Amino acid sequence: MKRIAIAALLTTSAVLSAHAEGVTVDALLKQGFEVKAAIPSNAGPGLVLQKGDAVFMCFVAETKTSGDIATQYCKPVH
């Protein structure tokens, strides 16, 4: 039980510190988050990323001339 509580605390700390620094899809994937869903929206394609109890909703955008698909913003889901 202690291990679960410690893991939850570390995950929460990692998520909060990532949020403070500007979260990107790439940063969340590097932290072990997984893409759970993708949805179309007026804000650009949306991605739902999850790691344990932590869930983020991110929106991305691209153009025909862009070299990559860039994260517009990510927000935690509560």
Domain that holds residue 71: 25-77
Phi then psi for residue 57, to 5 deg, are -110, 125
Model-level pTM? Answer: 0.69
Residue 50 lies in a domain: yes
- How confident is the prediction along the chain (78 residues), in pLDDT tens digits per residue? 555 544 444 444 454 444 445 899 999 999 999 999 999 998 889 999 999 999 999 999 988 888 899 999 999 999
Residue 70 lies in a domain: yes
Residue 14 lies in a domain: no
Dihedral angle over CA of 9, 13, 19, 25, nearest 10: -70
Dmax (CA) for the chain in angstroms is 51
Q: What is the distance of C-alpha 29 from the center of its chain? A: 7
Pairing of strands 46-51, 70-76: unpaired
Provide the domain count of the chain: 1
Residue 42 lies in a domain: yes
